[in-house]
Amino acid sequence: MTKPLVSIIISIYNVAPYLQRCLDSLVQQDYPEIELLLIDDGATDKSGEICDEYVANNSLIHVFHKVNGGLADTRNYGLQQAHGEYVIFFDGDDFADIRYVSTLVTAADSIKADITGCGYYVEELDRYETTLSRTPNPFIDGRYTNMTFQQIPVDATVIQILGYTWNKLYRRQFLQQQQLSFEKGLSLIEDIDFNARAFAKAEQLVFIKTPLVYYCQRPRRTLGSAANYERPFLLRQRALNSVRELLTQWQTPTGLVEQTVSTIYVDNVKSYIIMLNQSGLSKQSRLNKLIEIMNQPDNRYFVKQYQPQGWQGRLVKFLLQQRRGGWLLRLEQLRHS
């Protein structure tokens, strides 16, 4: 019986030091029916050259060089080039277990799932690219239909479920039929927005507990234009509404829905602060942009609903409530230096 083809779309932007490890881990998969679509999003380092070297030696690989458009644009472009029954969206600085694709396909084929997800490792690096830790993040385990989605546990786990695309296998026909694509301008939260809309349309889901992907968390992880911090923050509120609608569809209690959405909001603010600190803007310009966010009407509501874990989370909540932008910039700078 012929195995289904899997298209792995790899978004690449200035990840030359990590790209070989990423590509080797995918080329060496124990599942033979794959095509690797390397989408060079206008990288200014040697990433594009590395892509060209790999395509010359491997018929599974196809390279596309394009003008920089950001992560969402890169994934949408890759999806247009894909031929597989299934699609994976991968990032050029992460890498995978050799069983990654085969395990996901076996699980998906068991019920013809629209979306299949697995656990992952977080590999934390310092600014010198030294590995500080490698922490497993197991997924929930189980099969769900649109009649049993309400049984999916909604806690910190749901953020893991919705937060990433690189640990998921999507049925391409499902994405096409539902006209699902990544929304441009949602820097930092495009995965959550895409997954919330996709999960709301899905009829069959499979989750695998086993961690099979290595997500590299480093101080200057770059997957798109350096100007991402300038994209309108308000656009991201639509992504939060997508999450709210999905959890309501899953019959999640209202209080828990709002806690979950608020956690995503605050995490997004923290990521925004990190990007501001890496933007090269003056201290006053960074402060002005952060104050603009904190003065938005939704900020007070989300921060009030936010239920932090640990003293650092409580400190961030206090500083957001008091609108202490300067302290927030310094706090996040220290935590990610």
- Return the half-sphere exposure (C-beta side, CA atoms, 13 A cut-off) of residue 262: 20
44 found inside a domain = yes
Q: Which two tokens stand for residue 170?
A: 């999507």
Which residue has tokens 């060089």?
A: 65
My answer on whether 61 and 17 are in the same domain is yes
Would you tell me how many other CB atoms lie within 10 Å of the CB of residue 138?
A: 15
239, part of any domain: no
The whole-angstrom separation of Cα 255 and Cα 259 is 6
Report the alpha-carbon distance of residue 321 to residue 299 in Å, rounded. 9
How would you classify the pairing of strands 131-137 and 6-12? Answer: unpaired
Predicted confidence at residue 336, as pLDDT, reads: 55
Residue 270 and residue 207 share a domain: no
Domain stops at, among 193, 217, 241: 217
Angle made by CA atoms 267, 124, 286, in degrees to the nearest 5:
45
* CATH number, residue 196: 3.90.550.10
Of 317, 287, 273, the closest CA to residue 299 belongs to 317
Map residue 37 onto helix, strand or coil. strand
Three-class DSSP labels, 41-103: ECCCCCHHHHHHHHHCCCCCEEEEEECCCCHHHHHHHHHHHCCCCEEEEEECCCEECCCHHHH
* Residue 240, in any domain of the structure: no
Please, what is the angle between helix 254-277 and helix 297-305, to 10°? 120
Q: How far apart are CA 70 and CA 62, in angstroms?
A: 20
DSSP state of 26: H
Of the residues 166, 195, 217, the one at which a domain ends:
217
Tokens 């090269």 belong to 280
Residue 235 domain-assigned (yes or no) = no
Q: Is residue 119 part of a domain?
A: yes
The reply to whether 282 and 197 lie within a common domain is no
- Domain shared by 154 and 24, yes or no: yes
Asked if the structure places residue 173 within a domain, the reply is: yes
| pTM score, whole prediction | 0.85
Residue 1 lies inside a defined structural domain of this protein: no
204/305 same-domain check = no
- Kindly state whether residues 24 and 138 are assigned to the same domain: yes
Element (H, E) at 132: strand 131-137
What is the full per-residue pLDDT of the chain (337 aa) written as tens digits?
678 999 999 999 999 999 999 999 999 999 999 999 999 999 999 999 999 999 998 999 999 999 999 999 999 999 999 999 999 999 999 999 999 999 999 999 999 999 999 999 988 766 656 666 778 877 788 899 887 888 887 765 677 788 899 999 999 999 999 999 999 877 667 898 999 999 999 999 999 999 999 998 766 544 444 344 445 455 567 788 888 999 988 888 888 889 889 988 888 888 788 878 877 889 999 899 899 888 888 888 999 999 988 888 899 999 999 989 999 998 876 565 5
70 and 139, same domain (yes or no) = yes
Asked if residue 201 is part of any domain, the answer here is yes
Q: Which backbone phi and psi does 315 adopt, to 5 degrees?
A: -65, -45
Total domains in the chain come to 2
Which helix or strand (DSSP H or E) is residue 121 part of?
A: strand 115-125
Domain end among 202, 217, 232: 217
Say if residue 211 is in the same domain as residue 259: no
Are 172 and 114 within one domain? yes
Which residue range forms the structural domain that includes residue 46?
6-217
Which residues does 47 contact at the CB level (< 8 Å), separation at least 6?
A: 12, 13, 14, 15, 16, 19, 40, 92
Alpha helices in the chain (DSSP H): 16-27, 47-55, 71-81, 100-111, 156-163, 172-177, 190-201, 236-249, 254-277, 283-294, 297-305, 310-321, 325-335
Contact 55, 35 (CB under 8 A): no
- Dihedral of CA atoms 283, 289, 294, 297 in degrees, nearest 10, equals 170
In terms of domains, do 265 and 213 share one? Answer: no
81 and 180 part of one domain: yes
My answer on whether 69 and 147 are in the same domain is yes
Taking CA 166 as the corner, what is the angle to CA 26 and CA 207, rounded to the nearest 5 degrees? 105
